[in-house]
Structure 1
Amino acid sequence: MCRIYGYFNAVASPNEMKRVGALQRHGGPDRTGLSRAPGWGLGSNRLAVIDLDGGIQPYEIEGRISAVFNGEIYNHDALRDRLRKRGHRFADRCDGAIIPALYEEYGEKFTDHLDGMYAIALLDLRERPKLLLVTDHMGMKPLYYRWDAVDRSLRFSSEIPALLGFEGLGTGVWGPGLDAYLASKTPFGEQTMFQEIKVLPAATTLRCTLGEAPEALHRPHATAQVPDDADRAAELVRDTLRTEVGRLLVADVPVAVITSGGLDSSLVTALAAERGPVHSFNIAYRGTWPFEERHFARQAAEHAHAVYHQVELDPATLPDLVEDVVWHLGQPNADPITVSTYALFAAVREAGFKVALTGDAADEVFGGYARMHAAHESAPAGPWYERYLDALAVVPAARRHSLYTDDYRLLVQDVPPIPAAALDRLRHGEGTVLKRITDFELAHRLPAYHLRRVDHLSMAHSVESRLPFCQPSVTSLGRALPDRLRIGGGKVKRTLYGAAAGLVPDAVHQRVKQPFTLPVTAMLAPGSPLWEMARDTLATGRLRPAGRLDPHAVDALFRTQELRPDDTTALTIWALMTYEVWQDQFQGSAGLVGAGAAS
């Protein structure tokens, strides 16, 4: 696991590269690797997880092929054996060391052989030089880049603040970004909140040949066959998950599990504990709050005979944590769970763990969200599309524009807040409504909203998150399930609940699903530290210069929250506060920027 960065067909001084690397060293504090030549440079910050003394990057083959790598390749031993039989030699057993040899054998199809999570930058100096930027099938390891069409140069990094360390890379805001953010809680698609910065989609190879514009090649997702019988399907999913959890526990450093108290993480905890003693971490909030889940997490850990670690977050520390979280994410994410995630992984690292397994992505893969259930149930007889999109948003579309100034409302009126092509496939694509929603969430919402959050906020503390539910063998099964084995009879995630039967406590298996998040509606109360921070951050004098938010509309939110608090109002205040913190950190008091093009 590492952080990577570099440039192609550009110029960067040694000090510039050191600055970029230093800005994301928290994600790879164990070793820095750097290689430069006229026109290109590759760098990495390593978090040593496999072969602790090896892993010297960039990995190279005689100056012809060089690569830097962030992630984990779970089948690296099998690939290394195969490549050795073809005459390749390796200096160590680090997983990323096989990448140049694999590319030499298979060319750009080398990704077909990789099983894992990864972001790779590979430089091929044979014949006409080219740089490949590659992401895994789910987008678990983000990669941000800036392409300059004038001088045909490209710069990239694992994190946005590090990318901004390159000289001449502007911090201008993408004009429609606020509207996109409030419509989906973080921008979907390739466009980030910065006008000049894009994020590489999942399952994508970006080929940049010297002197030419980049070309994006998108790889198809894996397919599978599943039994049509509910019991047999559940057994197959359980067996597949058991295998993947076992594979993801392999490391040369201690491995923990995250146990929220819900079905997904409790199942991962149970399967991990089958392999031997395991440490389980849960986060809760000091005091008495709604939606308390720690007792479910403790039951799941005790049922699995795991060593249970209860982390407590003091709500008084939230303002300081928000600042740190926004910086590490590089752009706003409206889910208050970001603060909990950041604090949780800090505790995991403090306890001596470099790797943690989580239950993320099960809801997207197996159909676990209430919005999926509502759309699936209503689609045959009535409208579902607008309600589904409103469920994704911070604030429903009908109310969102009332928060804006007239100028900003005019700026965004013709720009779709979610990429238009994605919305068209969601509404009119092939397959059932549930299948289209699943494809949309896996391709757009999951990487943008969940996976980048987990990656950035775990690596902020030098912890590698591993996600069994994102493994191709698991996601292909989830995609292949017929609708009735995913949602039906008033139940969600039917096959996954079947797979978990007997492995998790009955109290966890039978409980009503609820989101794992910060109880922000209760915490955002007059006089609390969070309230004072929000009031200060969203003060009229601070909002007017940017020209996007109507101060009177924002003041009305505070009056509503004070007198009649509700979840939507509280989340809107939180989201706007987070946006303003981001703007203070990265743009200062930047004014309106042109609308640009929606990706």
Structure 2
Amino acid sequence: MCRIYGYFNSTVSPNEMRGVGALQRHGGPDHTGTARAPGWGLGNNRLAIVDLDGGRQPYRLDGITVVFNGEIYNHDDVRAHLTRRGHHFADRCDGAVIPALYAEYGERFTDLLDGMYAVAVLDTRERPTLLLATDESGMKPLYHRWDPVARSLHFSSEIPALLGFEGIGTSEWGPGLDAYLASKTPFGEQTMFEQIKVVPPATTVRCVLGETPVTTRRRTDSAPGPAEPDKAADLVRDSLRTEVGKLLVADVPVALITSGGLDSSLVTALAAEYGPVHSFNIAYRGTWPFDERHYARQAAEHVGAVYHQVELDPATLPDRIEDVVWHLGQPNADPITVSTHALFAAVREAGFKVALTGDAADEVFGGYARMRAAFETAAAGGDWYTPYLDALAVLPAGRRQALYTDEYRASVEDVPPLPAEALARLREGEGTVLERITEFELGYRLPAYHLRRVDHLSMAHSVEARLPFCQRGVVALGRALSDPLRIGDGQVKRTLYGAAAGLVPDGVHSRVKQPFTLPVTAMLAPGTPLWEFARDVLTPGRLRAAGRLEPAAVEALFESQAVRPDDTTALTLWALMTYEVWQDQFRGATRPAGVVASAA
């Protein structure tokens, strides 16, 4: 696991490259390496997980230079295959196979990779070419900025590091606030920064010297779907068991994140079949709604895991929010970001560099209430589309518009807050409503809203998060399930519940699903540190100067939350507060404020 960065068809000084690398050294503190030549440069910060003494990047092979972030779980098989074709390897690090694999198969090298990755390949054998490639689920983010005038490209694993290159502006994407409130973080290739894009999942970007980059979306795997519930559950259980076993392999200690829900409890149970495991859960000091610690402890004790209870003091939330926003690089409206940041800090402090999580099960197997509601409404011939989109948002479209000034409302009137092509396929594409929703969730919401959060906030503490439910075989199997095998008879994730039967405690298996999040509605109350922080950030004068949010409308949110607290109002205040913190950290400077301190 690493952080990568670089430039193509540009001139960057060694000192500038060192500065960019320093900005994401938290994600790779074990070694920093660079390769440079006239017109290009590649850099890597390494977090050593496999072959701790090897794995020095960049990798080189006969005019091919590679930097890599991620884990290749089938690297032993790939190495054996390439050895038979005459290649030799100096170490057993997983990423070391990529240059030879590219030399043999060109851009199709990703077809042979099983894992999570963001890869940059610089090929100078003929006309210099830069290749950027991401894994099928988008587990490892990769941001880039293309300058069409200079015909140059810069990239990095994190946005603050990318802004460390000279000349990359921090101008906000105009519709960004509306897009953010419509989906809790921007979906698709566009980030909150006008000049910065993110490489989508399963995508290869090819940039030949002097030409415009060409982006290719690779096809994802498909599989025939089992028709019988028992057989489907058996297949899912066996597939997950295999994937968890692969993801436990490392030369450093591996932990489990156990929220107390079905998904992470199942991963914990399967991991325990391979030997003793350590399980981590986060809760909040005091008495709060939705406390899941007893379920998490139950799941850990059921399989003999060593249980670690992490407690977050709500009084420290304001201090943590700024760090969280910095590492994410753009606002994410989910309060769980703060919990995630604190949880991975505790994992690293306990001596673990790798942690398995249960993320993505809901997207793959149909676990969200909004999916069930859309499925049932569509079956009855009703309008499922508008309520589904409203469920994704911080607050519904009508209430969102009421927060804006007249000028900002007019500026976004004709701009869809979510990618237009995604909305078109969601509403009128091929397949059933549930199949289209699944495609949308996996292709857009999961990478933007969940996976970047997990990646950035785990790597902020030099911890590699591994995600069994994002493994290619598991995703293909889940997508192949018929609608009734995912949602039916009032139940979500039907096949996954079948797969978990007998492996997780009955109390976990039978409990009502609830989101793993911060109880922000209860915590955002007058007199609390979080309330005072929000009031300080969302002042009328500040909002009036920015010209996007109507101060009176925001003040009405505070008044409502003070006397009639509800989830939507609390989340809206949290989201607006997070947005303003992001504005403070990144707007109006050629380089983000606090950049040197954050890199230290």
Note whether the superposition's TM-score is higher than 0.5: yes
- One-letter code aligned to 1:457: L
Aligned to 1:597: none
Instruction: Tell me how far 1:212 sits from its aligned partner.
Output: 0.3
The residue number in structure 1 matching 2:596 is none
Q: Deviations over 1:179-224 (max 9, x none)?
A: 0000000000100000000000000000000000000011011011
Contact 1:545/1:589 (<8 A) preserved: no
* 8 Å CA contact 2:120, 2:133 repeated in 1: yes
The equivalent of 1:457 in structure 2 is 457
Deviations 1:42-94 (A, max 9, x none): 000000000000011000003x0000000000000000011011111111100
Summarize the alignment of residues 114-193 of structure 1 with structure 2, pairs less than 5 Å apart.
Answer: 114-193=113-192
- 2: CA distance between counterparts of 1:589 and 1:464? 31
Q: Which residue of 1 aligns with 2:110?
A: 111
Query: What amino acid is aligned across from residue 344 of structure 2 in structure 1?
Result: F
Residue by residue over 1:134-190, the C-alpha shift from the partner in whole angstroms, topping out at 9 and shown as x without a partner, is 000000000000000001000000000000000011000000000000000000010
User: One-letter code of the match for 2:60?
Assistant: E
> In the comparison of the two structures, how many residue pairs are matched?
589
Aligned-residue RMSD, C-alpha: 0.8
| 1:87-129, Cα deviation, whole Å (9 max, x unpaired) | 1111110000000000000011000000000000000001111
SS in 2 for 1:379: helix
**What secondary structure is seen at the aligned counterpart in 1 of 2:545?**
coil
Supply the distance in 1 between the matched residues of 2:21 and 2:111 (Cα, whole angstroms).
29
Task: Work out whether residues 71 and 116 of structure 1, in 8 Å CA contact, stay in contact via their aligned partners in 2.
Answer: yes
Distance in 1 of aligned mates of 2:432 and 2:61? 48
Would you say the 8 A contact 2:170–2:589 is kept in 1? Answer: no
Q: Is the 2:170–2:588 contact (alpha carbons within 8 Å) kept by the matching residues of 1?
A: no
Which residue in the other structure is 1:443 paired with? Answer: 443
Q: What letter corresponds to residue 39 of structure 1 in structure 2?
A: G
Amino acid at match of 2:492: V
Name the structure 2 match of 1:409. Answer: 409
Q: Is the 8 A contact 2:378 2:433 kept in 1?
A: yes
Amino acid at match of 1:41: G
Corresponding residue for residue 474 of structure 1? 474
Give the corresponding residue for 1:575.
575
Q: Equivalents in 2 of 1:565, 1:226: separation in Å?
A: 45
Q: Which residue of 2 aligns with 1:524?
A: 524
Whether the aligned pair in 1 keeps the contact of 2:69 and 2:119 (CA below 8 Å) is yes
Does the 8 A contact of 1:34 with 1:58 survive in 2?
yes
- Which residue identity lines up with residue 168 of structure 2 in the other structure? L
Q: Is the 8 A contact 1:253 1:355 kept in 2?
A: yes
Q: Secondary structure at the match of 1:139?
A: coil
1:136-535 to 2 correspondence within 5 Å?
136-380=135-379, 381-535=381-535
Three-state SS of the structure 1 residue aligned to 2:546 is: coil
Query: Residues of 1 paired with 2:479 and 2:552: CA distance?
Result: 46
The whole-number CA distance in structure 2 between the counterparts of 1:576 and 1:434 is: 31
Distance of 1:578 and 1:274 partners within structure 2 = 41
Cα distance in 1 for partners of 2:224, 2:299 equals: 31
Give, in whole Å, the separation in 2 of the partners of 1:541 and 1:459.
Answer: 36
Give the letter for the 1:184 counterpart: S
Name the SS of the counterpart of 1:545 in structure 2: helix
- CA deviations 1:212-250 (Å, max 9, x no partner) are 000001101101123200001000000000000000000
Q: Over residues 482-526 of structure 1, what are the superposed CA-to-partner deviations in whole Å (9 max), with x where a residue is unaligned?
A: 000000000000000000000000000000000000000000000
Distance in 2 (CA, whole Å) between partners of 1:584 and 1:201 is 27
Distance 2:137 2:468 in 1: 12
Distance 1:101 1:589, change over 3 A: closer
Matched to 1:397, the amino acid is A
Counterparts in 2 of 1:20 and 1:247: CA distance versus 1, 3 Å: same
Q: Which one-letter code corresponds to 1:367 in the other structure?
A: G
Q: Structure 1 CA distance, aligned partners of 2:546 and 2:461?
A: 33
One-letter identity of the residue aligned with 2:519:
P
User: In the aligned structure 2, how far is the partner of 1:15 from the partner of 1:385?
Assistant: 51
The separation in 1 between residues aligned to 2:55 and 2:328, in whole angstroms, is 26
Alignment of 1:543 with 2:543, yes or no, is: yes
- What displacement does 1:399 show? 0.5
Structure 2: distance between partners of 1:191 and 1:236: 37
Kindly provide the CA deviation profile for residues 310-367 of structure 1, in whole angstroms up to 9, marking residues without a partner as x: 0000000000100000000000000000000000000000000000000000000000
Give the deviation of 1:544 after TM superposition: 1.4
Letter in 1 for 2:533: M
The CA deviation at 1:588 is 4.8
TM-score by length of 1: 0.98
SS in structure 1 at match of 2:414: coil
In structure 2, C-alpha distance between the alignment counterparts of 1:406 and 1:344, rounded to whole Å: 41
CA distance, structure 2, for counterparts of residue 242 and residue 48 of structure 1: 25
Alpha-carbon distance in 2 for matches of 1:589, 1:5: 21
Counterpart position of 2:100:
101
Q: Distance in 2 between matches of 1:224 and 1:433?
A: 19
For residue 446 of structure 1, give the secondary structure of its aligned residue in structure 2: helix
8 Å contact kept, 2:283–2:312 = yes
Q: What displacement does 1:589 show?
A: 9.6
Three-state SS of the structure 2 residue aligned to 1:302 is: helix
Please give the alpha-carbon distance, in whole angstroms, between the structure 2 residues aligned to 1:126 and 1:172: 37
Matched-pair identity in %: 78
Normalising to structure 2: TM-score of the pair?
0.98
Q: AA paired with 1:4?
A: I
- Report if the CA contact (8 A) 1:583-1:589 is conserved: no
Q: Distance in 1 between the 2:479 and 2:228 partners?
A: 16
Alignment check: 8 A CA contact 2:259 2:516 kept: yes
How far, CA to CA, are the matches of 1:263 and 1:336 in structure 2?
21
Q: Name the amino acid aligned to 1:489.
A: D
For residues 560 and 45 of structure 2, the distance between their equivalents in structure 1, rounded to whole angstroms, comes to 47
SS at match of 2:518: coil
Distance in 1 between residues matched to 2:58 and 2:150, nearest whole Å = 26
Kindly provide the amino acid, as one letter, of the partner of residue 424 in structure 1.
A
The corresponding residue for 1:556 is: 556
- Cα distance in 2 for partners of 1:185, 1:475 equals 24
For 2:169, the aligned partner's letter is: G
Amino acid at match of 1:46: R
Match for residue 56 of structure 1? 56
Question: In the aligned structure 1, how far is the partner of 2:226 from the partner of 2:9?
Answer: 51
Per the alignment, residue 595 of structure 1 pairs with: none
**Counterpart of 2:60 in 1: which secondary structure?**
strand
Alpha-carbon deviation of 1:15?
Answer: 0.5
Q: How far apart in 2 are the matches of 1:589 and 1:420?
A: 31
Deviation at 1:473, TM superposition (A): 0.7
The question of whether the paired residues in 2 share the 8 Å contact of 1:546 and 1:589 is answered with no
Structure 1 distance, partners of 2:306, 2:224, is: 37
Letter aligned with residue 93 of structure 1: R
Check whether the contact 2:116–2:135 (CA below 8 A) recurs between aligned residues: yes
Matched residues in 2 for 1:532 and 1:393: separation? Answer: 25
